[in-house]
Amino acid sequence: MAKKQKKIVVIGGGTGTSVLLAGLKRYPVQLSAIITTGDDGSSSGVLRKEFNMIPPGDIRQCLIALAKGNFGYLNDRFHKGFLHGHTLGNLLITLFYQKNNDFQQAIDQLLQLVGAEGSLIPMTLRPVTLVATLTNGATLNGEHAITISKKIRTHLKKFSLIPASIKANPRALKAISEADAIVTGPGNIYSSILPHLLVPEIRRALTVSRAKKIYVANLFTHEGHTDDFSVLDFVTILERYLNVGIFDHVIYNTARVAPVLLKKYSHAVKAPVRFSAELGKDKRFVGRPLISTAIRASSSDPIAKIRNPFLHDSDKLATVVMQLISS
C-alpha cells in the first residue's frame, strides 16, 4: 500500500517562497502555496491598477518554481518601449486573467500549462492594500511605500489591510485545514508574511490548525524595518499578531557571508540576521548553513540592482523542512 503523501502549505510572497517551493517539489508531497495579494510596486502595481486584478508578480515567481522544466524566461523584463519594466510572466498571467475573469482559475490553467504539480492560492480573491499607521498618526498606504520607508522600525504603531472586511480565498482556508505541515517564510516579514495574518479567517485557521508549523527566518535584516533583528525578534513579531506561540520549529541560517561580499553588495543588503548559541538549547530552533553559494544574476532585470542577491539554498532548506516534518 502506497504511503500517503504529506500535505504541505507554504505561506509567503515571492522570492523566498519560490526558493522553498523549488526545493520541496522534488519530494513526494502535495504542495500548496498561499500567496499575499498586496503588492503594488513595479510591473505588478501597474497591472493591478490597470486591470483591477490581484498583483501577478509573486505568483509568477512561484509558478516558475513549481514548473516542470525551465521557465525562468518568464522573469525576464522588457527594457524599453511601452512594456518597459513588465515581465513576460506578468503579462501572461494578465492575459489568462482577462480570458477567465477569475484569477484562481487563470493560475490553475497556467500551472497545467507549465506542467506543475501543486497549487498556488492567492490569499484573497481581490487585491488588498497594506497600511502602516505611524505613531504620529501618518499612514503609509501600499506595500511599495512601506517597503521603501525608513520609519517602520522606530515609528510603527500598527498594520492593517484595506478593505478591512476582506474575506479569505476559500481555497486558502481549505488548504490550511487539511495541511499536515505549514511553513511560513522566508520572506519580507511585513510585506510577504504579515498580510496573511491580517486576514481574520486565515489568522483563525492557522491558530486552530493541528498541522506542524515551521517558520523560516530571513537571511538579512531590512534597513528601517528590522535593523539589528535577531531570529527571535522575527518570531516575536509574528506571534504577537497571532496572539499565541504557534511555531513548533524555527529554521535559521548559521553560515556566514564573507565580509568582502557584504561590502560589495552593501547597496542591496544590510546586516545578517543575528543568532546566538542560546538558541541551540531550545529544540524549537534549528540552525543550519542554508545560504546559497550562488549570487543571483541580474542582467535581464533592470531593477535587480536594489534586490538582495543572496538567497537560501533551495535544496538545503527543503531537506531541513522535510526532516522536521518527518520527525
Q: Is residue 27 part of a domain?
A: yes
What letter would DSSP give residue 224?
T
Contact status, residue 202 vs residue 182, Cβ threshold 8 Å? no
Domain that holds residue 269: 7-326
pLDDT at 153: 95
Kindly state the helix (H) or strand (E) to which residue 132 belongs, with its residue range.
strand 129-134
Helices (H), 9-151: 15-24, 42-51, 57-66, 88-100, 103-113, 143-148
Q: What is the pLDDT along the chain (327 residues), one digit of tens a residue?
A: 567 899 999 999 989 999 999 999 999 999 999 999 999 999 999 999 999 999 999 999 999 999 999 999 999 999 899 999 999 999 999 999 999 999 999 999 999 999 999 999 999 999 999 999 999 999 999 999 999 999 999 999 999 999 999 999 999 999 999 999 999 999 999 999 999 999 999 999 999 999 999 999 999 999 999 999 999 999 999 998 887 789 999 999 999 988 898 888 888 888 999 998 778 788 899 999 999 988 776 555 555 666 788 999 999 999 999 999 998
pLDDT at 301: 56
pLDDT at 303: 58
What letter would DSSP give residue 279?
G
Q: Is residue 257 part of a domain?
A: yes
Q: How far apart are the C-alpha atoms of 149 and 143, rounded to whole Å? A: 10
pLDDT at 243: 74
**Do strands 181-184 and 7-12 pair parallel, antiparallel, or not at all (unpaired)?**
parallel
pLDDT at 251: 98
Nearest to 247 by CA among 262, 255, 237: 237
Nearest to 151 by CA among 97, 216, 223: 223
pLDDT at 255: 95
Q: How far apart are the C-alpha atoms of 157 and 151, rounded to whole Å? A: 11
Give helix 88-100 / helix 103-113 axis angle, nearest 10°. Answer: 120
β-bridge partners, 129: 162
Q: Is residue 2 part of a domain?
A: no
Query: Strand 139-141's sheet: what is its strand order?
Result: 139-141, 129-134, 156-162
Q: Is residue 67 part of a domain?
A: yes
pLDDT at 277: 78
CATH number for the domain harbouring residue 250: 3.40.50.10680
Contact status, residue 75 vs residue 59, Cβ threshold 8 Å? no
pLDDT at 169: 98
Q: Is residue 136 part of a domain?
A: yes
At a CB cut-off of 8 Å and minimum separation 6, what does 32 contact? Answer: 7, 8, 9, 10, 118, 119, 120, 121, 175, 179
Q: How far apart are the C-alpha atoms of 203 and 241, rounded to whole Å? A: 9
Q: How many domains does the chain have?
A: 1
Q: Is residue 248 part of a domain?
A: yes
Q: Is residue 107 part of a domain?
A: yes
β-bridge partners, 9: 32, 182
pLDDT at 2: 61
Q: Is residue 1 part of a domain?
A: no
pLDDT at 299: 52
